[in-house]
Structure 1
Amino acid sequence: MKFLGDLDEASLARTQRCNRRLVEPSRLQAIRDTGLMDTPQEEAFDRLARLAAQLLDVPLTIMSLVDADRQFFKADFGLPSPFRETRQLPIDASLCRYTLEGEPIISSNAPADPFLKFHPSTGPWGIVALIVLPLINPDGHVLGTFCCIQPKVREWTSRDLTVMRELTASIMTEINLRNQIQKLKTEQNLRDTFVAALTHDLRTPLTAAKMSVQVLGRRHADLPSVQSSVARVSGSLDRAERMIQNLLDASRIQAGQRVALEMGECDFHAVIAQTLDELAAVYPERFVLKAEGMFTMRADPLGLRRIVENLASNAAKYGAPGTPIEVLLERSEHQVVLQVRNQGTPIAADELQTIFEPFHRTRSATESAEKGWGLGLPLVRGLVEAHGGTATVTSSAEEGTCFTVALPLEATSHQRLSA
């Protein structure tokens, strides 16, 4: 743009540097990423503009975004017509473009300023005293400005500058939080798409492999060695299918959805006994089940099995080797309580708060030889909560680590519907 006079060397250099920043692709992308260009006014930003006007006693405050072609007024207090209606200014008439190097524009008397007095918008806008602070994102890109304008000479105080800086920081906090939320949503969508595609693609070859193993077992039903191999392969394929289901369910839980259940009458004691019996093939002589009588309840038998399997196998993996793992089952009038207790290095107090979060692994688990995705405990909590119950944990050197699951004997109507 053309100034109305010759700029001094320093002012000219500033305009040239800012002009290069004006069309910088990464800066323009950062502005697009905010999603704020050409959007309606919002109270979150207008409130800060009003506050600046009140605290500094000025008639005009503006929050702007500055792209390659124009200055867009996102928020304001006292914006005159026709700008209140159009909410934009051609880039050649923009004064704010000269903050794109990150330097503010502050003046108590623009007509006497060697740079500002030649800018063509100073007179028409009645700009005399002004504070123009750049809106700088975490990557160092200037997105726009927050400014206040006084139509008369004014010596700005340190308090005035502090107020504007704090309010500018508040604007950037709002923008940055919105960007982070949007990034999280995008990552969630990508993760969900990836998980869905991965599990779909994995299930097809697994299904084919299971069918082939079943055919092989039928053809050689009279050969014990073949049957033993078929059983091992089938067990491994079943485990792979459970891992896929765990991944799907963990993704649903992280998205805030409930795990789907197939409710029916079942005996929790029988489910636990069968699950521990199968785990004993991998962890022999480790589990001690303490329960008496029938524990009939309305629940999803497969869901109950997955709860027990995850808690018991975790206790075997990360508890002290060779020590017994107690599995206790008790019943009251309205609920059944399962406890899985193991001895060994206690879980750190700070980790107890996040142990049920997806993909979280404790330091002891990370340092151990056992590998995992950190999905077991989040699945336990998700399955328990889908049943209307609670899952908690305590851990100390004296008492060991104890996971407690409390489940209602009868699912509520909401849970039945969601199941």
Structure 2
Amino acid sequence: MAKSLQRDDKRLLQFRKLTEVSRALTYAVSLEEVLRLTVERAAELLETDKAVLMLTNEQGLLSVRAAFGLSKEATERFREPLDETLIHRLQGLLGANPECFLGVPLVVGGQVTGILAVSLLQPVSSNEEQEWLLSALADQAAVALEKTRLDETAEFRERLIGIVSHDLRGPISAILLGSTALLRREELSERDSKTVVRIQSAAERANRMIRDLLDYTQARLGGGIRVESRPMDLHAVVRQVVEEMAMARPERRIEVYQEGDVHGNWDVDRLAQVVGNLISNALHYSPEGTPVRVATVGDAREATLTIHNLGPPIPAQQQSKIFEPMQRASADMNPENRSVGLGLYIVRHLVKAHGGTIEVKSLENEGTTFTVRLPRQAPPLS
């Protein structure tokens, strides 16, 4: 009876430790941390002094990525194929006889991606409890390793986007300056002028894409887009943006309604970007011949910006996704209007940086309305 209670107490302690391991692996932020935690906790759970974690490389060879109780010299040389003779070689690496060796695979998506092995101080027990513990730990480690791999791959991709986008600004700016200078020449023929205008238009579109990509990487990796607030009049910013967009799209009608006091402490340039992105979106998704209505209204607490268009409704299941990166309300293959799909994502982050909110309402026969609410005082810079 006493032995049974002791066994139950030991099993309960093991379960607690396994739960702690799961929590630690969940919060691990790097591949190295997951690897280190796995071998350390394997040694602790199995009460052993030697543990090793191996992962397969691109050539299909196993190499030691983390070890406990083994010298660096011994593990550095270990490069072995995943075959039927591997167990014998692992026993040699760990200095374990067959009765004291225990190894389990790490499996991701049905594929063996590594092996977690230990050298036990006592022969493997017949109740398979030790193997179950190691297998449970290996399963948790496999999930954590795949998560960190995906996280690091995504972060690398996003940092690369930011670097490339930043470096592209110089050449694009040179193209814009050059095309502007060419358009001032009186000797240009009509055909040449049209060609330069197309070059300038393409460069401006590329410049907008680059700005969106830089804002995207800042929002994703830089802890949010920073704003520099100062006193401003939202009415005036909206009128300026509308005038600029009306010149660029003379065939479309943009109606403006303004009421109340909308002075506040905000970032002028960033709110102009919000207004411009939302108007551009409204023009893009509404039919020719229909107006886009822009309204700014102020009360004692906040300023409200609404932008309405009479385009087809956004499907209900899509409305919760349009503020995510690379999402669009509808498929659009027109190369003249194509973007990187970040406009509304950036708008949401800019509004959030001002302490505000944005929502969308889209119904059949009523059109689509984006509503931005801004508190009078933006949050302080962190």
Q: Normalising to structure 1: TM-score of the pair? A: 0.65
Q: Tell me the equivalent position of 1:279.
A: 245
Alignment counterpart, residue 318 of structure 1, candidates 275, 285, 296: 285
Distance of 2:62 and 2:362 partners within structure 1: 60
Distance of 2:35 and 2:196 partners within structure 1: 66
Q: Tell me the equivalent position of 2:71.
A: 86
Quote the RMSD (CA, aligned, Å).
Answer: 4.4
Letter in 2 for 1:172: A
Distance of 1:67 and 1:343 partners within structure 2: 56
Residue 329 of structure 1 pairs with residue 296 of structure 2:
yes
Counterpart contact for 1:357–1:377, Cα < 8 Å: yes
- Over residues 309-331 of structure 1, what are the superposed CA-to-partner deviations in whole Å (9 max), with x where a residue is unaligned? 21112112113554433322211
Residue 354 of structure 1 pairs with residue 325 of structure 2:
no
Residue 65 of structure 1 pairs with residue 50 of structure 2:
no
Letter in 1 for 2:292: I
Residue 101 of structure 1 pairs with residue 71 of structure 2:
no
Counterpart contact for 1:104–1:133, Cα < 8 Å: no
Counterpart contact for 2:175–2:200, Cα < 8 Å: no
Describe the shift of the 1:265–1:239 C-alpha distance in structure 2 as closer, same or farther (beyond 3 A): farther
Residue 74 of structure 1 pairs with residue 66 of structure 2:
yes
Counterpart contact for 1:213–1:230, Cα < 8 Å: no
Describe the shift of the 1:329–1:207 C-alpha distance in structure 2 as closer, same or farther (beyond 3 A): same
Distance of 1:153 and 1:197 partners within structure 2: 59
Describe the shift of the 1:359–1:283 C-alpha distance in structure 2 as closer, same or farther (beyond 3 A): farther
Distance of 1:66 and 1:260 partners within structure 2: 41
Secondary structure of the residue that 2:341 maps to in structure 1? coil
Distance of 2:308 and 2:294 partners within structure 1: 7
Distance of 1:183 and 1:73 partners within structure 2: 18
Describe the shift of the 1:270–1:231 C-alpha distance in structure 2 as closer, same or farther (beyond 3 A): farther
Deviation at 1:276, TM superposition (A): 2.4
Letter in 2 for 1:195: S
Residue 267 of structure 1 pairs with residue 249 of structure 2:
no
Deviation at 1:150, TM superposition (A): 6.2
Describe the shift of the 1:207–1:252 C-alpha distance in structure 2 as closer, same or farther (beyond 3 A): farther
Q: Tell me the equivalent position of 2:41.
A: 47
Q: Normalising to structure 2: TM-score of the pair? A: 0.70
Alignment counterpart, residue 143 of structure 2, candidates 164, 167, 173: 173
Secondary structure of the residue that 1:42 maps to in structure 2? helix
Describe the shift of the 1:61–1:393 C-alpha distance in structure 2 as closer, same or farther (beyond 3 A): farther
Deviation at 1:413, TM superposition (A): 3.5
* Amino-acid identity (%): 25
Deviation at 1:337, TM superposition (A): 0.7
Describe the shift of the 1:367–1:73 C-alpha distance in structure 2 as closer, same or farther (beyond 3 A): closer
Q: Tell me the equivalent position of 2:156.
A: 186
Q: Tell me the equivalent position of 1:307.
A: 274
Letter in 1 for 2:303: V
Deviation at 1:231, TM superposition (A): 12
- Over residues 349-384 of structure 1, what are the superposed CA-to-partner deviations in whole Å (9 max), with x where a residue is unaligned? 34333322233223x144678422212212322332
Alignment counterpart, residue 149 of structure 1, candidates 120, 124, 136: 120
Residue 403 of structure 1 pairs with residue 370 of structure 2:
yes
Secondary structure of the residue that 2:362 maps to in structure 1? strand
Counterpart contact for 1:100–1:134, Cα < 8 Å: no
Counterpart contact for 1:70–1:89, Cα < 8 Å: no
Deviation at 1:252, TM superposition (A): 2.3
Secondary structure of the residue that 1:413 maps to in structure 2? coil
Describe the shift of the 1:355–1:64 C-alpha distance in structure 2 as closer, same or farther (beyond 3 A): same
Describe the shift of the 1:388–1:87 C-alpha distance in structure 2 as closer, same or farther (beyond 3 A): same
Describe the shift of the 1:310–1:251 C-alpha distance in structure 2 as closer, same or farther (beyond 3 A): same
Deviation at 1:271, TM superposition (A): 2.4
Residue 248 of structure 1 pairs with residue 214 of structure 2:
yes
Which structure has the greater CA radius of gyration?
Answer: 1
Secondary structure of the residue that 1:280 maps to in structure 2? helix
Counterpart contact for 2:229–2:265, Cα < 8 Å: yes
Describe the shift of the 1:41–1:186 C-alpha distance in structure 2 as closer, same or farther (beyond 3 A): closer
Alignment counterpart, residue 103 of structure 2, candidates 132, 137, 147: 132
Distance of 1:75 and 1:296 partners within structure 2: 62
Distance of 1:350 and 1:103 partners within structure 2: 53
Deviation at 1:342, TM superposition (A): 2.3
Residue 382 of structure 1 pairs with residue 349 of structure 2:
yes
Counterpart contact for 1:102–1:142, Cα < 8 Å: no
- Over residues 252-283 of structure 1, what are the superposed CA-to-partner deviations in whole Å (9 max), with x where a residue is unaligned? 23333544555444332232233224433526
Letter in 1 for 2:144: E
Secondary structure of the residue that 2:326 maps to in structure 1? coil
Letter in 2 for 1:299: W
Secondary structure of the residue that 1:167 maps to in structure 2? helix
Counterpart contact for 1:133–1:147, Cα < 8 Å: no
- Over residues 113-155 of structure 1, what are the superposed CA-to-partner deviations in whole Å (9 max), with x where a residue is unaligned? xx89xx7789x64552543223356695654433463634643
Gaps of 5+ in 2: 1-29
Secondary structure of the residue that 2:322 maps to in structure 1? coil
Q: Tell me the equivalent position of 2:8.
A: none
Distance of 2:86 and 2:136 partners within structure 1: 14
Give the paired residue count: 344
Secondary structure of the residue that 2:83 maps to in structure 1? coil
Counterpart contact for 1:316–1:325, Cα < 8 Å: yes
Counterpart mapping for 1:8-47 below 5 A: 36=32, 42-47=36-41
Letter in 2 for 1:146: A
Secondary structure of the residue that 1:189 maps to in structure 2? helix
